[in-house]
Amino acid sequence: MKKKVLAVLLAGVMTAGMLAGCGGAAAPAADAGDAAQATEEAAGDEAVAEEAPEAEGEEAAADLGGVSEDPNTLTVAAWDANFNIPALEAAAEAFKTKNPDFKLEINTVSGSQDVENAVTNAASAGDYSTLPDIVLFQDHYIQQYVTNYPDAWQDLEGAGINWDDFGAEKLSYSTIEGKHYGAPVDNGTAIFAYRTDILEECGYTIDDVTGITWDKWLEIGRTVKEKTGKYLLSMDHSGDDLPYMFMQAEGLSQWKDGKPDLVGNETYQKILQVIVDGANDGVILLCNSWSEYTDESIVGDQVAGVMNGNWIIPTIKQVEENKGKWALTTIPTLSGAEGYAANGGSSLYITANCAKADLAKEFLAYTFGGGEGSMETYDNALKNGGVITCCISAGKSSVYQEPDEYFNGQPIYADIVEMGAHVPVVEQNDFHYNLRTAIGTAITNATTAGGGADLATEIQTAQDDIDRQMSL
């Protein structure tokens, strides 16, 4: 029962605090250059806010559809009709080349929490018959659910997936005790996009913000602010993922051996100081909400730079008059080496209720797992939903090599796949979002606008808070 309470508690924290995404789509795109005309989701990986679960035993139990008796039909539950669903539809169509009688019955739920609650309820009842063959599950949460409910899942060992065709960071979420459980779907690789016309106005090029130190970046940002009035970066500070991404770009985590690694962590304090200094100097705009972040700072043209998971690209592209004025690159670091990070993402998992595990494994391997249908799957997933492949070989298709006119002819999708292969694996924790909230408060209090509190003291307060929450 304690495991159930923990799952419900963490789901509630996730829902309340998360506005980071890997998003959905506004309308199907005609080609790769337009493929990411998607609207983001918010809530962990997805940009549609969800209601918090009710108390233990009372959480909403969404109908995930169960399974089909037809031997050639698989069922899957996923969310976001404009993002994940087109990717699944593309996979189903590609697999028909191998199995013409194949059908994929897709149950579109309102959000990731529907899947999480359904698994929790099924495990608590000891009855998995309500689950579909396959579910989409958030990367940041799957290890908790496999650990708490090991009987709810079937692993992908023997599926014939070439795991070397994926970045190690993406696989780290779905690999539990040495076994692969999930087939990666969407690429959460972080990008740093810049307005090249504004950089040029200030005497810089995209090369000047590539492979630089944060100190140099702050210097450039102050110049940009002084000459143009624009910030060089913004973030939804109600769900601030900058500390996580900045640390991952350093190859480091906010956790060590299952505990928060904040106090006495010199690198972490330097990273937070960059954010505080940036906010104080008008280089970083810390927005109060998701809509302020997307609608005002990005679409409202307040910024000359955007850094987040690549699902933020559709928001950037909403401003038609800025077409041809953007380029994307890697993340600055304390040392000046090019940094790589990721934010958001999900994978597909076979449930205990799947009696056709061989068919499910064959389908996942052929489409999302680097098999013969992966290139077709991901080409159409990109065109129709803005989903970027996690599968390195699929990213070598001609569709991914197409120049993107909005980004001044840069083949951004091929570049993103390449960048994803370099994202370092860092330690994760079920209290990821709890820590994000606590550190967000620390940053606020340490800024001039927030009172200018001592940063080291605020970090200590944050660690004490997380230690307390983890001991409950």
CA–CA gap between residue 29 and residue 386 (Å, rounded): 8
Helices (H), 192-234: 196-201, 214-228
Name which of 194, 218, 265 is nearest 426 in CA terms: 265
Residue 181 has pLDDT above 90, yes or no: yes
Q: What CATH number has the domain spanning 190-341+431-471?
A: 3.40.190.10
Name which of 455, 460, 437, 435 is nearest 445 in CA terms: 455
pLDDT tens for each residue of 59-101: 556 789 899 999 999 999 999 888 899 999 999 999 999 999 9
Determine the angle formed by the axes of helices 112-125 and 2-17, rounding to 10 degrees.
170
Name which of 113, 111, 95, 114 is nearest 103 in CA terms: 95
Mean predicted confidence (pLDDT) in 434-453: 97
Mean predicted confidence (pLDDT) in 195-212: 98
Where residue 264 falls among pLDDT bands split at 50, 70, 90?
A: very high
Residue 304 has pLDDT above 50, yes or no: yes
pLDDT exceeding 70 applies to what percent of the chain?
87
Name which of 268, 267, 304, 312 is nearest 285 in CA terms: 304
Where residue 193 falls among pLDDT bands split at 50, 70, 90?
A: very high
Whether 170 contacts 184, CB under 8 Å: yes
Check if 2-188+344-420 and 190-341+431-471 are the same fold. yes
Residue 37 has pLDDT above 70, yes or no: no
Where residue 436 falls among pLDDT bands split at 50, 70, 90?
A: very high
Residue 28 has pLDDT above 80, yes or no: no
Where residue 344 falls among pLDDT bands split at 50, 70, 90?
A: confident
The two three-digit tokens of residue 349, written as one number:
């998992």
CA–CA gap between residue 56 and residue 7 (Å, rounded): 10
The two three-digit tokens of residue 436, written as one number:
């994000």
Stated pTM of the model: 0.82
Q: Residue 438's pLDDT is what?
A: 98
**Half-sphere exposure of residue 372: CA atoms within 13 angstroms, side-chain side:** 7
Name which of 306, 282, 299, 111 is nearest 190 in CA terms: 306
Residue 18 has pLDDT above 50, yes or no: no
Using DSSP's 3-state secondary structure scheme, residue 208 falls into: helix
Residue 221 has pLDDT above 60, yes or no: yes
Pairing of strands 179-180, 175-176: antiparallel
CA–CA gap between residue 48 and residue 392 (Å, rounded): 28
CA–CA gap between residue 154 and residue 103 (Å, rounded): 21
* In the chain, where the domains are located: 2-188+344-420, 190-341+431-471
Q: Residue 60's pLDDT is what?
A: 53
User: What average pLDDT is seen over the chain?
Assistant: 88
pLDDT exceeding 90 applies to what percent of the chain?
81
CA–CA gap between residue 187 and residue 165 (Å, rounded): 13
The residue assigned the tokens 């009987």 is 151
CA–CA gap between residue 160 and residue 335 (Å, rounded): 40
The residue assigned the tokens 């309308």 is 27
Q: Residue 27's pLDDT is what?
A: 31
Residue 50 has pLDDT above 50, yes or no: no
Helices (H), 149-213: 168-174, 196-201
Where residue 465 falls among pLDDT bands split at 50, 70, 90?
A: very high
Whether 315 contacts 19, CB under 8 Å: no
| Terminal CA-CA length for the chain | 14
For residue 164, what are the contacts with CB-CB under 8 A and spacing of at least 6?
none
Whether 188 contacts 173, CB under 8 Å: no
Mean predicted confidence (pLDDT) in 264-286: 98
Q: Residue 391's pLDDT is what?
A: 94
Q: How far is CA 307 from the centre of its chain?
A: 12
Q: What CATH number has the domain spanning 2-188+344-420?
A: 3.40.190.10
Name which of 4, 3, 7, 348 is nearest 155 in CA terms: 348
Whether 328 contacts 407, CB under 8 Å: yes
Q: Residue 61's pLDDT is what?
A: 60
**Half-sphere exposure of residue 305: CA atoms within 13 angstroms, side-chain side:** 27
Using DSSP's 3-state secondary structure scheme, residue 326 falls into: strand
Q: Residue 39's pLDDT is what?
A: 36
Residue 14 has pLDDT above 80, yes or no: no
Residue 203 has pLDDT above 50, yes or no: yes
pLDDT tens for each residue of 368-420: 999 999 999 999 999 998 899 999 999 999 999 999 999 999 999 999 999 99
